[in-house]
Structure 1
Amino acid sequence: MIGYLSVKKIDEKHVGGLLVVDESGIPHEFKYTDPIIPNQLQKILYGKSLETYLHVEIISKSLLKKIENKPDIIFTDNPVLIESGENVFFTSSFIPSADETESSPEECVIPYGSSAIRFVSKQQISQEKEEKLKQILDQVDVLEPFQRLEKALEYVCRSSSS
């Protein structure tokens, strides 16, 4: 099982979702939060840290606790969210330059077609985890479920307005 964690700010509403799929990309579980609209006092008290606090502490961590099908690996499209848990990896596609090297033990770059996928974790990525990431890349398009998740979160925000 593979998890996809995303938190979005849509029309001043903060909403998060966690989609768990199998190796074929078929959804097995989807959890989401009700959209959160911070009040003026919260904006004043938290200042610039409000968004990070909401996205990591309130939304992401609560989603990770609620999930029943615990995935081996959880991908996120937001680097801040790697603070949410041990198996959370920020995932991004890029075209590496000839002199591009891995910059830290918390990061690994795996060739993927004509580009590469960069994985970043809050802790050192073990050889075993890197092999698991390579295996997942061989089986599925790791970025596509983020598109489904984003559409689902937009739907949740629109539905809450009705």
Structure 2
Amino acid sequence: MYLLWFDGVDAESDCKPRPASRLVTRQDPVYESHSMEVAASNSLPAFGFLTVVEDELHGFFGGYLVLSELGRPLEFHCSTPVFPSHAQRILYGSTLRSYLLGELIGPVLVEKAKLPVLAVLTDLEEMLSLGLVWQGVLAWVDSGNEANHSPPEATGSPGPVLDLEGYRLAGSSTCCWEPEKLREELTTFVSYVDLAEPFERIREAIREAQRVTEQPAGEADDQTAAA
């Protein structure tokens, strides 16, 4: 059995800033991800958490974290940054984020994963467009005021909705899952972990990888030796 885990130093080759001024495709090496192997089980219930960190200088960094139902890490992948050109921003307009997150970055990270998950959760509504190119349980974790919720905008049509532990989990019309079944599957997990917390883990892991790669080689070696 295998557990895939992340070490910020070893992720240097995949999370370091890399310009992408041309029109990128899913075959572009900018989407390669990184993982490390340790002991784990494919049979354990698991959930995937998918988000993106946007950096003004370097673009969009994607991160995908798989957790056990006890909230322990089983697998992590992070992508190299995607930086849309000025022409892309003009041509894609308001649909740019949905395209980059849900149709380019998201699919590659999820498909790289080795462990099956009961559901993929995201804290970014634009990531729901992943449902256009990937089949599986996909839900947006919205922490906003439940009284003011509107249908997910990724596809323009409402989908399944589940209120759980102060959050609203929502899917688009392309996300076919049963709210009560998902509630049952998440019962143990939410007793250990707040649904928003895994996304902070991903963001911090990406930031740490950026800090390591931006340090002079000597400094990074000194810190590694000190650890």
TM norm. shorter chain > 0.5: yes
In the TM superposition, 1:69-148 aligns within 5 A as 69-85=115-131, 86-94=136-144, 106-110=160-164, 112=165, 116-122=166-172, 123-126=175-178, 127-148=180-201
Alignment partner, residue 62 of structure 2: 16
Higher mean C-alpha displacement, 152-161 vs 53-62: 152-161
Deviation of 1:94 (Å): 4.9
Q: Secondary structure at the match of 1:25?
A: coil
In the TM superposition, 1:11-50 aligns within 5 A as 11-12=56-57, 13-50=59-96
In the TM superposition, 1:43-58 aligns within 5 A as 43-58=89-104
Q: Hey, what's the Cα distance between the residues in 1 that align with 2:139 and 2:70? A: 20
Structure with bigger RCO (C-alpha 8 Å, 6+ apart): 1
Is the Cα contact below 8 Å between 1:102 and 1:109 reproduced in 2? no
When the two structures are aligned, how many residues end up with a matched partner?
A: 156
Change (3 A) 1:28 1:8: same
Q: What are structure 1's unaligned runs of at least 5 residues?
A: none
Q: Normalized per residue, which structure has more strand?
A: 1
Q: Hey, what's the Cα distance between the residues in 2 that align with 1:52 and 1:102? A: 17
Q: Secondary structure at the match of 2:143?
A: strand
Is the Cα contact below 8 Å between 1:10 and 1:157 reproduced in 2? no
Q: Does 1:7 align with 2:52?
A: yes
Is the Cα contact below 8 Å between 1:73 and 1:89 reproduced in 2? yes
Task: Compute the TM-score of the two structures, normalised by the length of structure 1.
Answer: 0.80
Q: Hey, what's the Cα distance between the residues in 2 that align with 1:33 and 1:78? A: 17
Percent identity among equivalent residues?
26
Paired letter, 1:106? P
C-alpha deviations, 1:126-148, integer Å up to 9, x for none?
13223223343234322211111
Deviation of 1:157 (Å): 4.0
Deviation of 1:57 (Å): 0.9
C-alpha deviations, 1:56-76, integer Å up to 9, x for none?
111001111111112111111
Q: Hey, what's the Cα distance between the residues in 2 that align with 1:139 and 1:29? A: 18
Is the Cα contact below 8 Å between 1:102 and 1:108 reproduced in 2? no
Paired letter, 1:40? H
> Pick from 208, 213, 216: which aligns with 1:155?
208
C-alpha deviations, 1:9-61, integer Å up to 9, x for none?
11241110100111222211111110111223323332332222111111001
Q: What are structure 2's unaligned runs of at least 5 residues?
A: 1-45, 152-157, 216-227
Q: Hey, what's the Cα distance between the residues in 2 that align with 1:21 and 1:146? A: 11
